[in-house]
């Protein structure tokens, strides 16, 4: 293996491992939030806010992190980011009142900004035709959500929830040190001398950036929100204990992270648009079934009234969630394939904007999930809401991407259209 190729893959492996740990920590309130909720007697909306607070910081910080990565390089930014979270993570063990958890979780949320740093850092070590795969492998660090659901409940049961932040703080410190020794710096990847902040922010005027942000707010924001929400959902809807509920929730979280590399491969092969289009359709079908609440129907027959129960059992529910987890994994990779294709020189900034939108989706949705349950009393209202969002996104994709392509094909079927198109290009 050539030295440059060795460095490329070492960077990807070190970054993916580090991102996995960061994501574990970013999602830890999905587990420790449940005993905290019981101890503080929180309602559903307050619980939704608690588990979403780290996501807020991790979202808002993604744009500046992307800009710093473009200017100073991913290695140093990633390293400092991880070190900055160690103390706040440790201090969570000593929090006693609600506001303290909210404030500390904001600082812990900085770990979520690692995605924007790592995705741009890894992409620049590969050629365009392999960037989708590289970013997909890095994005598989989302499996940290599943790892937390497997590891954190065991620590909670054995030592209490306060031990989880202590273990995670030590783990983050060790990870930062390992990352520094197994990653590399390439000065050509830093554009500090040639790109101003104004030039970096110019991408905000591009409507494509906002369209990709909408897609990512679903496949990533929805993934984060449901990863945070599913453990609680299994407990309240099906009556499982914490360990069983967290284990079942892994059926969504694990493929939602692990198969992202597969999404990168498909995006390289079939194109970002085709893959994203089918991801949204599969997700829509899954959410159609998930949205239907448990229902009792009484029908009057010739033999008298008969009642029927309609609803998803735990097994069927888990299978559908597993399917949607696969779709979200593929979609997370395909959206970033759009970015690497369209913005090869501004991957950090654009991924920061798109990542911010995705993270905000992960912050807002859990709060809305809790508010909808408090308002309606229907737990599946969360899936109803997401169904509406995805339907809106499909319509946006159709009118902005699918329909213009069909119109262009129809235009070139008209005799003389090639000459007209050439004249238009000459005039422009």
pLDDT digits 0-9 by tens, 127-137: 777 777 787 78
Tell me which of 6 and 83 has the higher pLDDT.
83
- Give mean pLDDT, residues 384-391: 92
Q: Are 48 and 370 in contact (CB under 8 A)?
A: yes
Lowest mean pLDDT: which of 257-266, 313-322, 327-336, 400-409?
A: 400-409
CA 216 to CA 220: how far, in whole Å? 5
Tell me which of 374 and 387 has the higher pLDDT.
387
Q: Residue 424 — very low, low, confident or very high, per pLDDT cuts 50/70/90?
A: very low
> pLDDT value at position 419?
45
Helix, strand, coil: what percent of the chain each, to 5?
85, 5, 15
Contacts of 359 (CB under 8 A, 6+ apart): 55, 56, 58, 59, 60, 62, 112, 220, 221, 224
Please give the model's pTM, rounded to 2 decimal places. 0.69
Q: What domains are there in the chain, each with its CATH number?
A: 3-427 (1.20.1250.20)
pLDDT value at 174 more than 70: yes
Q: Which of 222, 117, 127 is nearest to 176 (CA)?
A: 117
> pLDDT value at position 242?
82
Tens digit of pLDDT for each residue in 83-119? Answer: 999 999 999 999 999 999 999 999 998 998 888 888 8
- Give mean pLDDT, residues 381-391: 91
Tens digit of pLDDT for each residue in 29-75? Answer: 888 988 998 889 888 788 888 888 888 888 888 878 877 887 788 89
Mean pLDDT of the chain: 82
> pLDDT value at position 191?
52
- The string of DSSP codes covering 304-360 is EEEEEEE---HHHHHHHHHHHHHHHHHHHHHHHHHHHHH-TT-HHHHHHHHHHHHHH
Lowest mean pLDDT: which of 113-127, 384-398, 401-415?
A: 401-415
Tens digit of pLDDT for each residue in 245-301? Answer: 888 888 887 786 677 778 878 888 888 888 989 999 999 999 999 988 888 888 888
CA 344 to CA 373: how far, in whole Å? 43
Phi and psi (nearest 5°) for 170? -65, -40
> pLDDT value at position 31?
87
> pLDDT value at position 230?
86
Q: How far is CA 103 from the centre of its chain?
A: 22
pLDDT value at 418 more than 60: no
> pLDDT value at position 247?
84
Phi and psi (nearest 5°) for 304? 110, 180
Phi and psi (nearest 5°) for 300? -85, 120
Q: Which of 226, 215, 389, 235 is nearest to 323 (CA)?
A: 226
């Amino acid at each position: 293996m050539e030295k440059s190729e060795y460095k490329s893959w070492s960077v990807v492996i070190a970054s993916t491992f580090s991102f996995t740990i960061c994501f574990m920590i970013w999602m830890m309130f999905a587990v420790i939030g449940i005993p905290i909720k019981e101890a503080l007697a929180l309602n559903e909306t307050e619980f939704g806010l608690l588990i979403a607070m780290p996501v807020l910081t991790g979202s808002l910080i993604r744009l500046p992190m992307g800009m710093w990565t473009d200017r100073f390089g991913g290695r140093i930014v990633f390293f400092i980011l991880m070190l900055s979270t160690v103390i706040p993570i440790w201090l969570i063990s000593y929090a006693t009142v609600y506001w303290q958890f909210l404030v500390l979780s904001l600082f812990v949320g900085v770990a979520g900004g690692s995605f924007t740093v790592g995705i741009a850092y890894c992409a620049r070590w590969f050629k365009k035709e392999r960037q989708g795969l590289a970013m997909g492998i890095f994005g598989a660090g989302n499996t940290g959500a599943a790892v937390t659901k497997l590891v954190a409940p065991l620590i909670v049961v054995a030592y209490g929830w306060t031990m989880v932040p202590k273990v995670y703080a030590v783990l983050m410190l060790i990870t930062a040190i390992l990352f520094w020794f197994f990653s590399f710096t390439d000065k050509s990847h830093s554009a500090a001398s040639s790109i101003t902040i104004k030039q970096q922010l110019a991408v905000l005027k591009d409507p494509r950036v906002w369209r990709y942000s909408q897609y990512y707010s679903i496949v990533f924001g929805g993934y984060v929100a449901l990863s945070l929400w599913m453990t609680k959902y299994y407990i309240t809807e099906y009556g499982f204990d914490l360990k069983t509920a967290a284990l079942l929730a892994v059926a969504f979280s694990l493929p939602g992270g692990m198969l992202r590399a597969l999404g990168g491969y498909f995006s390289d092969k079939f194109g970002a648009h085709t893959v994203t289009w089918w991801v949204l359709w599969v997700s829509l079908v899954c959410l159609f079934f998930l949205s239907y609440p448990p229902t009792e129907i009484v029908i009057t027959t010739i033999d008298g009234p008969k009642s029927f129960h309609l609803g998803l059992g735990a097994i069927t529910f888990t299978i559908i969630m597993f399917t949607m987890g696969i779709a979200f994994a593929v979609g997370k990779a395909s959206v970033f394939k759009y970015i690497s294709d369209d913005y090869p020189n501004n991957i950090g900034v654009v991924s920061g904007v798109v990542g911010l939108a995705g993270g905000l989706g992960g912050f807002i949705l859990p709060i809305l999930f809790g508010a909808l349950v408090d308002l309606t009393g229907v737990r599946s209202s969360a899936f109803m809401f997401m169904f509406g969002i995805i339907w809106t996104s499909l319509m946006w994709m159709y009118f902005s991407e699918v329909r213009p392509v069909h119109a262009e094909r129809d235009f070139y079927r008209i005799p003389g259209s090639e000459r007209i198109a050439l004249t238009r290009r000459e005039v422009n």
